Amino acid sequence: MVDTSDMLVFWAVVIARFLIPLTIPRYPLPGVLACLILDGIDQTIFQLFTNLPLEGYQSYDKSLDIYYLTITYLSTLRNWSNLYAFKLDRFLFYYRLVGVAIFEFTQLRSMLLVFPNTFEYFFIFYEAIRLKWDPEVLTKSKLITAAALIWVFIKIPQEYWIHVAQLDTTDWIRANPSNAFILIAYAIFLLGMAWWLVRDLPPMRPGLAISADPFQPASEKLPGKKTKLTFPAIDSAERFFNNALVEKILLVSLLAIIFAQVLPDVRSSNFQLAIGTAIIIIINTALSHWLARRGTHWKSIIREFIVMSLVNLGIVLAFDFLLPRYNGSINLFNTLFFILL
């Protein structure tokens, strides 16, 4: 029987991993660093303070990683003003998302090396620059260089160390304390690389831009045309089937499939899960468009979340009522989890 104190520690960590990412849209750099630290120490917390088995830790960890990385990505939709940085960051995010999905299907750790989480550190790089500079100073070549350096010198070694070699840094240093000097030397090398990237930037502005800038979506000017948003901006008054809807279906379907590998008693296939997710997203989007055409707009995100959650609850209950009549069924708890996700 699982000890009560073990479960308290477990749920405290899990709840923290669900709540802390919610700070990222408002405080991008502190929020993502807090998530990064918690991600790095949660297994140690479980090992030190509980007797819980950790056989399924890898899938649990990757799923919660994707959760906070998704919030991180969504924050770029609102906060980032450098268009090319956003496009590059979006590619890195989906590249990692696909890799995690493949890992969940195959349990091949090498997939996490092939699809490294460059997205996270690129986000940190951008937000670190934003502390003292306008991100518009980051040119296309500098952004590509930064992403490449992060990929090669930070993420590939890290992914190999953690997921392929499955080594523990603390144990490695404990076995030979002089190994700490290797880490120090490598840290100095990385700091030098960071200095090289920012050495030619214009003078720093005063103060620190810790909180997100006021909403100002990335845009580009097209000759002879009005400003056009190049990432999926939600505007329910526009045409129904658009890039925003396609990306939303793709993103949420991948998230649902990844989390389905962790949740118990998930009976649906990945294809069925993707179809169900798409249906709910289309219904939600159709409702938003209908309200927009009637001149109704959400006054707050919280109100929108509550109303749409109730709508989705109604959809789930309808499925739960109708499917048994056609020899089908759903796991109500798991389905509600996916809806809230």
25-55 pLDDT, tens digit per residue, is 999 999 999 999 998 888 888 888 888 777 7
**Chain position carrying tokens 């408002």:** 26
Nearest to 120 by CA among 149, 87, 153, 155: 155
**Selection from 144-153, 199-208, 236-245 with the highest mean pLDDT:** 144-153
Predicted TM-score (pTM) of this structure: 0.80
- Where do the domains of the chain lie? 1-167+201-230, 232-341
Nearest to 257 by CA among 248, 246, 242, 269: 269
DSSP string across 184-199: HHHHHHHHHHHHHHHT
Mark 70-92 as b/e (b = at least 16 C-beta within 10 Å). bbbbebbbbbbebbbbbbbbbeb
Work out the average pLDDT over 121-148: 96
**335 pLDDT more than 80:** no
Exposure of 254 in the CB half-sphere (CA atoms within 13 A): 21
Give the lowest-confidence range in 114-118, 133-137, 234-238, 304-308: 234-238
Give the lowest-confidence range in 39-53, 80-94, 282-296: 282-296
Exposure of 238 in the CB half-sphere (CA atoms within 13 A): 11
Nearest to 336 by CA among 315, 313, 303, 307: 313
188-199 pLDDT, tens digit per residue, is 999 999 999 999
212-266 pLDDT, tens digit per residue, is 876 554 444 444 444 434 444 444 445 667 788 888 888 888 888 887 777 666 6
Work out the average pLDDT over 108-122: 93
| Residue type at position 14 | V
Q: What pLDDT score was predicted for residue 225? A: 43
